[in-house]
Amino acid sequence: MDLGLRDRVYIVTGATRGLGFATARALVDDGARVVVTGRSEERTAKAAAELGGLPQAIGVAADNADSGAAERLVAAAVSRFGRLDGILISVGGPPAGSVVGTEDDAWRDAFESVFLGGVRLARAAANAMGDRTGPAAGGEGVIGFVLSVSVQQPIGGLAISNGLRPGLAMTAKTLADELGPRGIRVLGLLPGRIDTDRVRELDALAADPAAARAGSEAGIPLQRYGTPEEFGRVAAFLLSPAASYLTGLMVPVDGGAIRSI
């Protein structure tokens, strides 16, 4: 199946490893060009090189919490590749903890990065993509948010994520209403237990990490954690023109762990 990605240009944030890198890899493998970001200049450059470097990929070090990062990333995409067709906004998970045990500063820092940083990136990308409905617009645009299954059900010990991500999901659905008439789709991906560094770190917080993982797997119908590559393929499809009639939805990538309809 041709996803229609050839020569389309995407920004993928948080793409030096894990879900973001796997998505960037899937996009590039299908012919897209990507701007990959991460907070470390060294790791960002390494990720871009692993994706083949120019003309397929460039790396730009950026922190989503930086108020100037969004405009800088959009400018880099347009300057290097001449256009922007979409963005996947992925940020690292906020610190683990309980509601009553988490201090205000941790909530503020996470809000700046996870929530406000995501909104700024979406706004800057939408402005750059303009109106995509005309015959000369180069096709639809798309904004994707990497959220979490915590949008639909709370995850124990992740109070900040449980608090912020559902709000960002509703913001994404609001954006879908606002931007749909301009030919820009907006959607969210809800990863469950994907075998990333982040999930392994969370399992390691348990007294018996192996038992914690086994317990999590037992609650997944497919009886295993997903791989970043499995997530990346779903994300690449949703960002592609092949998914042109999908907007305003939240797509779980969780092996069936969410039991609600």
> For residue 92, is pLDDT > 90?
no
pLDDT reported for residue 71: 96
> For residue 254, is pLDDT > 90?
yes
Sequence-distant (6+) residues with CB within 8 A of 194 are 18, 19, 225, 226, 227, 228, 230, 231, 253
> For residue 147, is pLDDT > 80?
yes
Sequence-distant (6+) residues with CB within 8 A of 229 are 22, 25, 26
pLDDT reported for residue 42: 95
Residue pLDDT, tens place only, 211-251: 989 988 999 999 999 999 999 999 999 999 999 999 999 99
Contact 144/88 with Cβ under 8 angstroms?
A: yes
Q: How far apart are CA 110 and CA 108, in angstroms?
A: 5
pLDDT reported for residue 252: 96
Secondary structure (3-state) at 35: strand
Q: How far apart are CA 92 and CA 105, in angstroms?
A: 17
- Alpha-helical regions (H) of the chain: 18-29, 41-50, 69-81, 104-110, 117-129, 159-179, 197-204, 209-218, 228-239
Residue pLDDT, tens place only, 19-53: 999 999 999 999 999 999 999 999 999 999 999 99
Which position has the higher pLDDT, 252 or 198?
Answer: 252
Q: How far apart are CA 69 and CA 53, in angstroms?
A: 21
Q: What pTM was estimated for this model as a whole?
A: 0.94
pLDDT reported for residue 141: 97
pLDDT reported for residue 168: 95
pLDDT reported for residue 212: 87
Quick one: average pLDDT of 9-25? 96
pLDDT reported for residue 95: 84
Sequence-distant (6+) residues with CB within 8 A of 22 are 227, 228, 229, 231, 232, 235
Residue pLDDT, tens place only, 131-143: 999 776 778 999 9
Q: Residue 155 — pLDDT band, cuts 50, 70, 90?
A: confident
Q: Can you list the domains of the chain with their CATH numbers?
A: 9-194+228-244 (3.40.50.720)
pLDDT reported for residue 149: 92
Q: How far apart are CA 233 and CA 167, in angstroms?
A: 26
> For residue 91, is pLDDT > 80?
no
Share of the chain above pLDDT 70, in %: 100
Quick one: average pLDDT of 8-24? 96
pLDDT reported for residue 137: 73
Question: Could you tell me whether strands 141-146 and 57-61 are parallel, antiparallel, or unpaired per DSSP bridges?
Answer: unpaired
